[in-house]
Structure 1
């Protein structure tokens, strides 16, 4: 895994979801499919698919919010009904890998973050962007916000 620290601005148009953290692995993809069915409503040129996740604070924090959507290049002139525009401007640690190994990638990035002495920013979204490959597989980039 190649990990790095970077400052990144992400502009997102997406749909908000919420529920139990234990259900995110099934509920997020369902909401993403609903979002993709409405992609034609967005005037901005669509970039990669993206998901934003509220971080789990502790074991008693059972429910959270998430967004699914796309990255856009600039502030949209119009946001479709039921969607939101979110702009994130954070310092992140990031790594890319095969979406099939997303859990292992998260764990490796968390370990790398700790090994480098970075502290996670507990009130900022965890970000994943999804990138189809020519092989038919999909790559995921994970961005964990850090304190500076």
Structure 2
């Protein structure tokens, strides 16, 4: 599993959700399915699904915000009702792997970032992009925000 540091710009249109961190595994995919039923309303959309997650800052931080949506190719001035346009320009550490191994992917990336002495930015959203793979299970690319 290759880890690396990148500077990345994400442009997306998505729907905001909020819930307990423990329930993200169920709530996020459910909201993503709801969003996808309206995806044709999004101009300049790509086929890449994306999710943003508020990082859990400490053990007492029990709830957080998240967004699910699609990457868009252009800056948008108008978006469908109930959706938001978001642009993130940030330094990240990133790794890609099978979606069924997402917990280990996050853990491996966290450990690698710590070994490299990267300082996590807990005020910026964690980003995940989802990539169907032909004849295989979906892959996810995880981007953990760091201070540059």
- Bin for the TM-score computed over the shorter chain: over 0.9
TM-align CA RMSD = 0.8
**TM-score, structure 1 length as denominator?**
0.97
Give aligned pairs, total: 148
The answer to whether 1:54 aligns with 2:60 is: no
> Which runs of 5 or more structure 1 residues have no equivalent in the other structure?
none
Distance in 2, matches of 1:135 and 1:62, equals 38
What residue number does 1:86 align with?
Answer: 86
Deviation at 1:143, TM superposition (A): 0.2
What residue number does 2:16 align with?
Answer: 16
Deviation at 1:46, TM superposition (A): 2.0
Distance in 2, matches of 1:64 and 1:43, equals 28
Deviation at 1:107, TM superposition (A): 0.3
Equivalent runs, 1:1-148 vs 2, <5 Å: 1-148=1-148
**TM-score, structure 2 length as denominator?**
0.97
Could you tell me whether the CA contact under 8 Å between 1:16 and 1:65 is conserved in 2? Answer: yes
> Which runs of 5 or more structure 2 residues have no equivalent in the other structure?
none
User: Deviations along 1:129-148, whole A, 9 cap, x unmatched?
Assistant: 00000114101000000012
SS of the aligned residue for 1:90 comes to strand
Could you tell me whether the CA contact under 8 Å between 1:51 and 1:129 is conserved in 2? Answer: yes
Could you tell me whether the CA contact under 8 Å between 1:47 and 1:73 is conserved in 2? Answer: no
Moved over 2 A (4+): none
Moved more, 62-71 or 39-48: 39-48
Deviation at 1:85, TM superposition (A): 0.4
Deviation at 1:73, TM superposition (A): 1.3
Deviation at 1:77, TM superposition (A): 4.1
Distance in 1, matches of 2:119 and 2:77, equals 36
Could you tell me whether the CA contact under 8 Å between 1:98 and 1:137 is conserved in 2? Answer: yes
